[in-house]
Amino acid sequence: MKKEEFSTLLGEIDARYITEADTLPRPSHRLRWTLLAACLCLFLGGTTVYAASSHGAWITDLFTDRDESGYDLALMIEKIDTDTLSPQLRAVGSIIVRQYRESQPYDSHYPGSWDKAFSSAAEARDYIGCKALIGLDWALEETQTQLNVMGTPDGKLQSIHLETDYTVGDIRLQAYTQLYTEHYTGELTTGLRAAEEISFTPTEETNDVGLPWLLVRSSPMESGWAGLDGYLVRDGVLYKLHIAYLAKDAAEAEGLMRQWADCF
Amino acid sequence: MEDDRIVELFWVRDQGAIAAAAEQYSSYCVAIARKILGSVEDAEECVNDTWLAAWNAIPPNRPEVLSAFLGRLTRNIALNRLKRDHAEKRGGSASPIPLDELAEIVSDTDTAEAAYDRRALLEAINAWLGGLTPTKRGIFVRRCWHFDRVNEIAARYGMRENTVSVTLRRLRTDLRRYLTERGFSL
């Protein structure tokens, strides 16, 4: 059977499945449990005490199934004031307003998200302008840096995500810097998903100046790639590092993860 | 305007039906056609044909879900146009990636041995879809029906692009196995 013929046949699938796919998915039960867990921690521990005594990220759900594995993390982060951001970044709000204004209900692109590529992470940090941001003082070559800004229909910036990628031999590194503003009303969560059965081992660590951080080791996938994920919160900023590596590079990957944590 | 009212206008041969359908579903249909044809201009031309096709199809058809009905017409028209353009350019026009991926499910050949009953095959595909979780079904439909890009699907479902790619590959493998086990020689 020709693929075109099969595609035509797929065009005739039950209309219920098409309308279902046209509808934006609701947050999963796991996310709602994460929110509940985060609220509970706030209620029981109190913001100041908990934030001062932890790395600011803790696991609320961890699961390993045949088709999907992953974990959710609740975050304890102080939201930053948008006034501390650079004027050029705050001006992105007007772009987001325009996105919402020109958006059509069935557009494939969602309004409220703006991306910009930079030649370096330092350039992107200058663009963001927030003094709390810490640059990674390590001698790895950056392969790409991408900034993402999310905002409301009335142009209020809600979150700023910066990703910088590196490669060291066969090891792939993705370093993330995430800020949430006073306008962010969603769940402060993050996590990881994989489409196969892998296991995760979280451990609490401290860096060379005693700052706590969370390390999650992922067992190798079928492709042979294993993962290390580090989470550290400092001055209202979430720093994440994802490392994908092959078994032969396990020791070097661990070393890179600890180098990253010691940058703070 | 409500979908029932638009269908009713088509049904009584009121030409206002086309304007009402276009107002409600133009961007939806253009988005579908654009992903197949790759150009907004071509997509808009294609969607103009959709309104004519809907005019010719209603009656006798009375669609229960108008968006899916118009989307399906658009999708078919766009795929036919792609096929025509491809033939005219003697292979010069590339097919969309999601279409190429379907070659992982079917042989992509026109052999006489390929035997299947079209209605039974469609029922089997619907049954397979019905057995998936809503998220996996959505990922598959967004890719194979709407021709969404992987990054668009990842954004929609809050997943990593790599997870979406791996999920899609597994779903295609699973559908091929499912159909083969039920005697469909594709």
Write the pLDDT tens digit of every residue in A194-234.
Answer: 877 889 999 999 998 888 999 999 999 888 999 999 999 98
Q: Which of B71, B103, B68 is nearest to B175 (CA)?
A: B103
Q: Which residues of A159-171 are buried (b: 16+ CB within 10 A; e: fewer)?
A: bbbbbbbbebeeb
Beta strands in A1-68 (DSSP E): 57-64
Give A108's pLDDT tier (boundaries 50, 70, 90): low
| β-sheet with A171-180: strand ranges across | A113-118, A142-151, A157-168, A171-180, A237-245, A226-234, A212-218, A200-206
Q: Which residues of chain B have pLDDT under 50?
A: 90-93
What is the rounded distance in angstroms from the CA atom of residue A177 to the CA atom of residue A161? 6
What is the rounded distance in angstroms from the CA atom of residue A26 to the CA atom of residue A106? 17
Closest chain A residue to B108 measured between Cα atoms? A2
pLDDT for position B94: 57
What is the rounded distance in angstroms from the CA atom of residue A93 to the CA atom of residue A88? 10
Interchain contact B152–A (C-beta under 8 A): yes
What is the rounded distance in angstroms from the CA atom of residue B122 to the CA atom of residue B125? 5
* Ramachandran assignment for A214, one of left (phi > 0), alpha (psi -120 to 50 degrees), beta (any other): beta
Interchain contact B53–A (C-beta under 8 A): no
pLDDT for position B89: 60
A36 pLDDT more than 60: no
Please give the structure tokens belonging to residue B150. 């992987």
**C-alpha pair distances (Å), B101 with each of A89, A157, B80:** 40, 38, 18
DSSP 8-state code for residue A247 = G
A34 pLDDT more than 80: no
What is the rounded distance in angstroms from the CA atom of residue A229 to the CA atom of residue A215? 6
DSSP 8-state code for residue A132 = T
Q: From the list B76, B126, B135, which residue is nearest A14 (CB)?
A: B126
Beta carbons within 8 Å of B139's beta carbon, 6+ residues apart: B153, B157, B164, B167, B168, B171
pLDDT for position B138: 93
pLDDT for position B111: 59
Q: From the list B116, B125, B158, which residue is nearest A13 (CB)?
A: B125
The alpha carbon of residue B20 is apart from the nearest alpha carbon of chain A, in Å, by 16
Q: Which residues of A45-71 are buried (b: 16+ CB within 10 A; e: fewer)?
A: eeeeeebeebbbbbbbbbeeeeebbbb
What is the rounded distance in angstroms from the CA atom of residue B37 to the CA atom of residue B21? 22
pLDDT for position A30: 45
pLDDT for position A26: 53
Interchain contact A194–B (C-beta under 8 A): yes
In the A/B pair of chains, how many CB contacts fall below 8 A? 127
Average pLDDT, chain B: 86
Write the pLDDT tens digit of every residue in B48-96.
Answer: 999 999 999 998 889 988 999 999 999 999 988 888 877 666 444 456 6
For residues B164 and B138, the answer to whether their CB atoms sit within 8 Å is: no
Beta carbons within 8 Å of A10's beta carbon, 6+ residues apart: B102, B125, B144, B145
Closest chain A residue to B139 measured between Cα atoms? A21
A159 pLDDT more than 80: yes
Say which amino acid occupies B65. V
The alpha carbon of residue A221 is apart from the nearest alpha carbon of chain B, in Å, by 11
Interchain contact A108–B (C-beta under 8 A): yes
A156 pLDDT more than 80: yes
Write the pLDDT tens digit of every residue in A44-53.
Answer: 333 333 333 3
Give the ipTM of the model, two decimals please. 0.86
Please give the structure tokens belonging to residue A176. 């993330």
Count of beta carbons in the 10 Å neighbourhood of residue A19: 14
A185-A189-A194 Cα angle (round to 5) = 140
- Cβ neighbours of A114 in B, within 8 Å: none
Chain centroid to CA A83: how far? Answer: 23
Q: Is B67 close to A10, i.e. CB distance below 8 A?
A: no
Interchain contact B122–A (C-beta under 8 A): yes
Q: From the list A6, A17, A25, which residue is nearest B102 (CB)?
A: A6
- Average pLDDT for A14-34: 68
Q: Is B125 close to A20, i.e. CB distance below 8 A?
A: no
Give A32's pLDDT tier (boundaries 50, 70, 90): very low
Closest chain A residue to B148 measured between Cα atoms? A108
Helices B3-11 and B66-88 meet at what angle, rounded to 10? 70
Average pLDDT, chain A: 83
Say which amino acid occupies A120. S
